Amino acid sequence: MYVIVAVAVLLIAGLLYLLDRALKAVNEGRRRREAALRLAAAAAEAEEKDRQRRAAAAASAALTTVLPAILEPERDPRRVA
């Protein structure tokens, strides 16, 4: 009788341990999926900003070819007395 109770307690403890591991694995998977979604959104936003930056740089380069920059003559360093 005592052997059956001991085996039942060990079986229940083992099942509770497996349940704990399974729940942790499910939570880990959910956290990773959510992190992947946030990362994908951040990457898409960064790509859009990079595309806009490149477009602005191209527009600036196109404008510079039409209107060359006015270059100031080189100056010597200022001397403070």
Q: What confidence tens digit (pLDDT) does each residue in 11-67 have?
A: 999 999 999 999 999 999 999 999 999 999 999 999 999 999 999 988 887 776 655
74 vs 34, residue with greater confidence: 34
Q: Is residue 37 part of a domain?
A: yes
Domain span including residue 6 = 1-54
Q: Is residue 74 part of a domain?
A: no
Alpha-carbon span 4 to 7, nearest angstrom: 5
Q: Is residue 42 part of a domain?
A: yes
Q: Is residue 64 part of a domain?
A: no
Q: How many CB atoms lie within 10 A of CB 70?
A: 5
Alpha-carbon span 30 to 38, nearest angstrom: 12
Half-sphere exposure of 20 (CA within 13 A, CB side): 6
Question: How many domains, in total, are found in the chain?
Answer: 1
